[in-house]
């Protein structure tokens, strides 16, 4: 195909070559022989891939733009020559040699045509084709420029630099300046796939890759990236490149194996291949019987940028409905309006150098030219007035596709590099790789991919852009997708499908890896007691903060309630009412005793000790109010010492009264030495000394380790208990022990004098009161130790009220009964007291 000349005074003519841009798709008959005659290969049945001719036209359009632009390559006219590889290694090598050496005849290693200065080769579209071309071009120092991100998928940076360094250092730097960014495209594709899978939570996917070096490189780069991001490949299968019917028998077993994998319940499948991989996959699905199962074949296909949604040759009559809703990554492309206008000028006779145009026209419009040898009665004759815009998508696009745009930019890259080499004003920086602009001034974005979704209606192709992948965007914006535009397989009911090895672990459970399974496969086990998981698929459960507790479902932390025994609490109200009742009763008893202070029954057994005992009991019944309410520093400091001292006063008074009774009866015996101990000061001495000892213990307690407000977050599961910490538990039990010692002493003395005459029975009442008192506090200790929170405080208050009530009831109620209801008995009590010498 000839180039478009530029009107210059002394033009230099340079030539570009495009390989596998026209794309003749050749089926060989199964005789397994290829015939070579007169320097040409013959195949039995040949179909031109219509879309590929669009790539050739994009190359022609780019050369036309450059030759018409006086700002680039003045005095230089670019031409181009397009060869075909027929998807065959032998044909690729021969076409490359023809390109290098053939003029009027084929003379390897001889340059016979000085007018053809080959400066670069663009292509081909397939990695295998590009690799075959590169092996020959390397010997002859001809640079090869990639027109697609797939071309260099299997070539490392080092190999590419070696290829370019084989030319000249100037050419090397100029071409590196424009072409190195393409090395990152495959990485961008992988990143886009990972972002898409993460966006929808697809972590269990199938992978199909074409069975060549390009597919191997794709798997080697993608699989570690999937693993790093928590995504597993359920299976990895290699797709045979089925392009020749004579090799079909070799692939039948592989095809059935692939179809079997596709029939499983894995909903998301990643497909990596070359331009004709979709056609090969469609053939595999038909071979497996997909025509009868389309409604049940629910898949989300994720396609890479190299794939073309097209069928050619014998498959052109088949539909692609099975791929409806596929998500495909496409090479970045810009709108080029002039290209559409250029295509409208194309007709079968537009350029005599276009050897593919008539074959393209016949197969695109199902017609034939009279001079064509391939005539049948089915097709009509071509008029030449057919319009390219009438060709159904995706067979042909009137706008630049991603592949065509890559070809277009590749031509501009070579032209810019050549311009910089030829220009004496070249100011490039060696080794600095920058972007460039094409004819329209658009920056060539080699590192951006677009995400498209493909819809099919019968044989009509409807692609729509749904997002993009831009690694240069800010974090969080590198992958964008418009979920509202997505259309899913009808079997998914317009809801994104799940693609998991097993059901997700709900909150409240954690993952447990299954033995001999990928890390995406796991069991779900309930979190241990006291731990939660608050999101799905958590590896470990965790404990709630101390001021929270796990919910019943073990999926959230609930704030603990702050609790203490308050006046508003039902238990607090009950205890307060009982305490107030006992206070009122004690006051009433005290009033009765004061009112009848001169009666013999009040005077008997030391009236003043009775007053002190009643007042101490009154204060004891008031002391529970120090235990109610929110613990504060003053409350905590006062409540236990106050309780201990007050009860010590009460019990010491009881002990003093008991001692008086005992000494009084012993002193009545003639010559008893007890007479000198039965004085008036003895009871006060017993009471005061006993109280001072308890007070000393309390002072030592407050001085060394005083009680303080504390928070207990562990005793109750759902509560934070505000309480008073006793500071020193030892001192607390010392106070109780001393009080118990006084009570035990009183009980023993009272027990010894219990057989006094029945008319004076206070000793019996003291015995009963001490028995009840000791019983209460002995049962208090284990109950107190086993209780927590409000119950602990309530146990102590109850013990205070009960023990105080036993003293009040057993000692004073009998006397009140006599004073109020049986006043006549007071006379007999007086006589008895005189007869036994009781101190009044």
Cα(630)–Cα(709) distance, rounded to whole angstroms? Answer: 9
pLDDT at 312: 63
Question: Who has greater pLDDT, 1 or 198?
Answer: 198
pLDDT at 707: 92
pLDDT band at 400 (very low <50, low <70, confident <90, very high): confident
Percent of the chain residues past pLDDT 90, beyond the cut: 17
Cα(548)–Cα(560) distance, rounded to whole angstroms? Answer: 5
Cα(329)–Cα(304) distance, rounded to whole angstroms? Answer: 5
pLDDT at 290: 67
Q: Give the CA distances from residue 535 to residues 36, 238, 503, 515, in Å, rounded to whole numbers and listed in that order.
A: 68, 37, 14, 24
Average pLDDT over residues 777-805: 90
Average pLDDT over residues 773-777: 90
Cα(832)–Cα(840) distance, rounded to whole angstroms? Answer: 12
Average pLDDT over residues 209-219: 85
Average pLDDT over residues 529-557: 91
Same domain for 802 and 728: yes
Residues 6+ apart with CB under 8 A from 646: 616, 619, 620, 623
Q: Which helix (H) or strand (E) holds 132?
A: helix 127-137
Query: 267: closest CA among 212, 333, 194, 325?
Result: 325
pLDDT at 428: 38
pLDDT band at 182 (very low <50, low <70, confident <90, very high): very low
Question: Who has greater pLDDT, 107 or 772?
Answer: 772
Residues 6+ apart with CB under 8 A from 683: 606, 609, 656, 657, 659, 660
Query: CB neighbours (10 Å) of residue 437?
Result: 12
The first and second tokens of residue 259, run together, are 């179809």
Most confident residue range from 94-108, 152-166, 428-442 = 94-108
Q: Is residue 542 part of a domain?
A: yes
pLDDT at 437: 54
| Domain extent at residue 418 | 25-31+39-181+341-372+382-423
The first and second tokens of residue 650, run together, are 């009460």
For the chain, give the mean pLDDT: 76
pLDDT band at 805 (very low <50, low <70, confident <90, very high): very high
Question: Who has greater pLDDT, 545 or 103?
Answer: 545
Cα(392)–Cα(400) distance, rounded to whole angstroms? Answer: 15
Q: Is residue 248 part of a domain?
A: no
Query: CB neighbours (10 Å) of residue 322?
Result: 21
Average pLDDT over residues 353-372: 78
Same domain for 546 and 523: yes
Q: Is residue 351 part of a domain?
A: yes
Task: Answer with the one of 497, 528, 559 that is the final residue of a domain.
Answer: 559
pLDDT band at 291 (very low <50, low <70, confident <90, very high): low
pLDDT at 804: 92
pLDDT at 144: 78
pLDDT band at 3 (very low <50, low <70, confident <90, very high): very low
Same domain for 717 and 621: yes
> Crossing angle of helices 633-667/729-752, nearest 10°?
20
Domain holding 350: CATH number? 3.40.50.2300
Q: Is residue 436 part of a domain?
A: no
Same domain for 636 and 519: no
Cα(799)–Cα(807) distance, rounded to whole angstroms? Answer: 12
pLDDT at 154: 37
pLDDT at 667: 54
Residues 6+ apart with CB under 8 A from 421: 170, 171, 174
Average pLDDT over residues 338-353: 83
Q: Is residue 54 part of a domain?
A: yes
Cα(164)–Cα(145) distance, rounded to whole angstroms? Answer: 10
pLDDT at 12: 43
CA angle 432, 435, 439 (to 5 degrees): 135
For 573-599, the pLDDT digits (tens) are 999 999 999 999 999 999 998 888 888
pLDDT band at 838 (very low <50, low <70, confident <90, very high): very low
What is the total count of domains within the chain?
3
Question: Who has greater pLDDT, 524 or 146?
Answer: 524
Lowest-confidence range among 230-234, 379-383, 679-683, 792-796?
679-683
pLDDT at 491: 77
The first and second tokens of residue 808, run together, are 């009040």
Cα(24)–Cα(357) distance, rounded to whole angstroms? Answer: 12
Percent of the chain residues past pLDDT 70, beyond the cut: 72
Please say whether the beta carbons of 56 and 92 come within 8 A: no
Q: What phi-psi label fits residue 96: left (phi over 0), alpha (psi between -120 and 50 degrees) or beta?
A: alpha
Cα(90)–Cα(86) distance, rounded to whole angstroms? Answer: 9
pLDDT band at 15 (very low <50, low <70, confident <90, very high): low
pLDDT at 383: 82
Task: Report DSSP letters for 459-489, one per residue.
Answer: TEEEEEEEEEE-TTSPTT-SEEE-GGG----
For 688-741, the pLDDT digits (tens) are 888 899 999 999 999 999 999 999 888 888 889 999 988 898 999 999 999 989
Supply the DSSP symbol for 443: B
Same domain for 692 and 600: yes
Q: Is residue 476 part of a domain?
A: no
Distance of CA 354 to the CA centre of its chain: 57
The first and second tokens of residue 549, run together, are 């507790």
pLDDT at 267: 87
Average pLDDT over residues 247-268: 76
Same domain for 576 and 551: no
Cα(545)–Cα(274) distance, rounded to whole angstroms? Answer: 55
For 458-477, the pLDDT digits (tens) are 556 667 888 888 877 788 77
pLDDT at 151: 40
pLDDT band at 360 (very low <50, low <70, confident <90, very high): confident
CA angle 469, 470, 472 (to 5 degrees): 160
Same domain for 721 and 578: yes
Domain holding 684: CATH number? 1.20.1070.10
Instruction: Say yes or no to pLDDT of 101 above 50.
Output: yes
Same domain for 690 and 791: yes
- Count CA within 13 A, CB hemisphere, residue 244: 16
Question: Who has greater pLDDT, 340 or 833?
Answer: 340
Rg (CA), the chain: 52
| Range 812-818, long-range pairs (CB < 8 A, 24+ positions) | 812/589, 812/593, 812/610, 812/614, 814/761, 814/765, 815/593, 815/601, 815/602, 816/589, 816/592, 818/601
Same domain for 57 and 156: yes
Q: Is residue 664 part of a domain?
A: yes
Lowest-confidence range among 100-109, 232-241, 274-283, 470-479?
100-109
CA angle 199, 204, 209 (to 5 degrees): 95
Same domain for 536 and 655: no
Cα(488)–Cα(645) distance, rounded to whole angstroms? Answer: 83
pLDDT band at 225 (very low <50, low <70, confident <90, very high): very high
Cα(2)–Cα(10) distance, rounded to whole angstroms? Answer: 19
Lowest-confidence range among 4-18, 263-277, 339-353?
4-18
Question: Who has greater pLDDT, 390 or 554?
Answer: 554
| Range 682-688, long-range pairs (CB < 8 A, 24+ positions) | 682/656, 683/606, 683/609, 683/656, 683/657, 683/659, 684/656, 686/652, 686/655, 686/656, 686/659, 687/609, 687/612, 687/649, 687/652, 687/653, 687/655, 687/656
For 635-673, the pLDDT digits (tens) are 999 999 999 999 999 999 888 888 777 766 655 555 555
Same domain for 599 and 533: no
pLDDT band at 618 (very low <50, low <70, confident <90, very high): very high
pLDDT at 756: 59
DSSP strands (E only) in 177-263: 204-210, 232-239
Instruction: Say yes or no to pLDDT of 407 above 50.
Output: yes
Query: In sequence order, what are the beta bridge partners of 240?
Result: none
Cα(529)–Cα(537) distance, rounded to whole angstroms? Answer: 18
pLDDT band at 60 (very low <50, low <70, confident <90, very high): confident
pLDDT at 59: 87
User: Counting every residue, how long is the chain?
Assistant: 840
Same domain for 95 and 75: yes
Q: Which helix (H) or strand (E) holds 15?
A: strand 12-19
DSSP strands (E only) in 315-361: 326-331
pLDDT at 668: 56
Chain position carrying tokens 């305490």: 579
Supply the DSSP symbol for 209: E
Q: Is residue 6 part of a domain?
A: no
């Amino acid at each position: 195909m000839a180039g478009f000349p530029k009107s210059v005074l002394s033009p230099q003519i340079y030539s570009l070559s495009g390989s596998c841009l026209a794309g003749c798709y050749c089926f060989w008959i199964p005789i397994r022989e290829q015939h070579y005659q007169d320097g040409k290969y013959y195949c039995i049945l040949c179909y031109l891939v219509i879309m590929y001719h669009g790539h050739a036209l994009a190359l022609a359009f780019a050369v036309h733009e450059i030759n018409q632009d006086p700002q680039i390559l003045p005095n230089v006219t670019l031409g181009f020559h397009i060869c075909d590889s027929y998807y065959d290694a032998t044909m690729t090598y021969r076409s490359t040699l023809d390109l290098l050496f053939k003029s009027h005849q084929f003379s390897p290693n001889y340059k016979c045509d000085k007018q053809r200065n080959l400066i670069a080769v663009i292509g081909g579209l397939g990695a295998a084709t590009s690799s075959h071309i590169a092996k020959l071009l390397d010997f002859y120092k001809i640079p090869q420029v990639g027109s697609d991100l797939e071309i260099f998928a299997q070539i490392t940076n080092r190999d590419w630099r070696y290829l370019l360094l084989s030319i000249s250092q100037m050419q090397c730097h100029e071409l590196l300046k424009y072409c190195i960014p393409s090395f990152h495209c495959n990485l961008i594709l992988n990143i886009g796939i990972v972002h898409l899978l993460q966006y929808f939570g697809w972590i269990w996917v199938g992978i199909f890759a074409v069975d060549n070096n390009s597919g191997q490189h794709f798997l080697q780069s993608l699989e570690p990236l999937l693993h790093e991001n928590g995504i597993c490949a359920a299976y990895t299968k290699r797709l045979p490149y089925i392009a020749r019917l004579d090799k079909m028998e070799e692939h039948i077993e592989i095809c059935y194996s692939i179809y079997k994998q596709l029939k499983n319940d894995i909903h998301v499948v990643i497909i990596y291949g070359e331009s004709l991989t979709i056609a090969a996959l469609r053939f595999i699905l038909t071979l497996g019987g997909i025509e009868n199962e389309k409604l049940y074949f629910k898949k989300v296909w994720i396609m890479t940028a190299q794939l073309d949604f097209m069928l050619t040759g014998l498959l052109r009559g088949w539909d692609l409905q099975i791929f409806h809703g596929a998500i495909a990554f496409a090479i970045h492309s810009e709108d080029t309006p002039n290209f559409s206008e250029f295509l409208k000028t194309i007709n079968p006779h537009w350029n005599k150098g276009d050897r593919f145009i008539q074959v393209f026209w016949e197969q695109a419009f199902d017609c034939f030219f009279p001079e064509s040898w391939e005539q049948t009665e089915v097709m009509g004759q071509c008029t030449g007035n057919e319009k390219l815009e009438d060709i159904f998508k995706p067979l042909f696009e009137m706008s630049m596709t991603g592949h065509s745009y890559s070809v277009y930019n590749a031509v501009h890259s070579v032209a810019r590099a050549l311009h910089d080499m030829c220009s004496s004003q070249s100011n490039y920086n060696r080794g600095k790789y920058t972007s460039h602009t094409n004819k329209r001034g658009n920056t060539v974005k080699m590192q951006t991919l677009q995400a498209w979704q493909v819809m099919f209606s019968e044989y009509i192709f409807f692609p729509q852009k749904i997002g993009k992948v831009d690694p240069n965007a800010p974090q969080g914006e590198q992958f964008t997708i418009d979920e509202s535009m997505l259309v899913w397989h009808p079997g998914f009911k317009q809801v994104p499908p799940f693609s998991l090895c097993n059901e997700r672990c709900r909150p409240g459970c954690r993952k447990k890896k299954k033995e001999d399974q990928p890390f995406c496969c796991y069991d779900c086990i309930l979190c241990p007691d006291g731990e939660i998981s608050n999101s799905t698929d958590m590896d470990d459960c965790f404990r709630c903060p101390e001021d929270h507790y796990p919910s019943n479902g073990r999926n959230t932390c609930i704030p603990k309630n702050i609790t203490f025994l308050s006046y508003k609490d039902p238990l607090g109200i009950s205890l307060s009412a009982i305490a107030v009742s006992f206070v009122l009763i004690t006051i009433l008893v005290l009033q009765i005793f004061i009112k009848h202070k001169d009666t013999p029954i009040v005077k008997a057994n030391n009236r003043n000790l009775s007053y002190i005992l009643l007042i101490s009991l009154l204060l004891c019944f008031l002391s529970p109010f120090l235990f109610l309410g929110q613990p504060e520093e003053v409350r905590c400091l006062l409540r236990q010492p106050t309780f201990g001292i007050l009860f010590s006063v009460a019990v010491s008074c009881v002990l003093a009264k008991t001692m008086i009774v005992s000494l009084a009866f012993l002193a009545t015996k003639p010559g008893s030495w007890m007479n000198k101990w039965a004085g008036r000061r003895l009871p006060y001495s017993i009471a005061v000394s006993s109280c001072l000892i308890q007070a000393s213990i309390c002072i030592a307690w407050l001085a060394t380790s005083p009680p303080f407000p504390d928070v207990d977050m562990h005793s109750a599961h759902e509560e934070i208990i505000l309480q008073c910490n006793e500071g020193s538990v030892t001192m607390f039990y010392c106070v109780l022990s001393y009080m118990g010692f006084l009570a035990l002493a009183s009980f023993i003395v009272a027990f010894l004098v219990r057989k006094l005459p029945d008319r004076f029975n206070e000793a019996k009442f003291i015995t009963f009161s001490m028995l009840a008192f000791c019983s209460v506090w002995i049962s208090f200790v284990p109950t107190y130790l086993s209780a927590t929170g409000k119950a602990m405080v309530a146990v102590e208050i109850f013990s205070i009220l009960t023990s105080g009530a036993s003293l009040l009831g057993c000692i004073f109620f009998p006397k009140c009964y006599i004073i109020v209801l049986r006043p006549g008995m007071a006379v007999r009590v007086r006589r008895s007291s005189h007869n036994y010498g009781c101190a009044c």
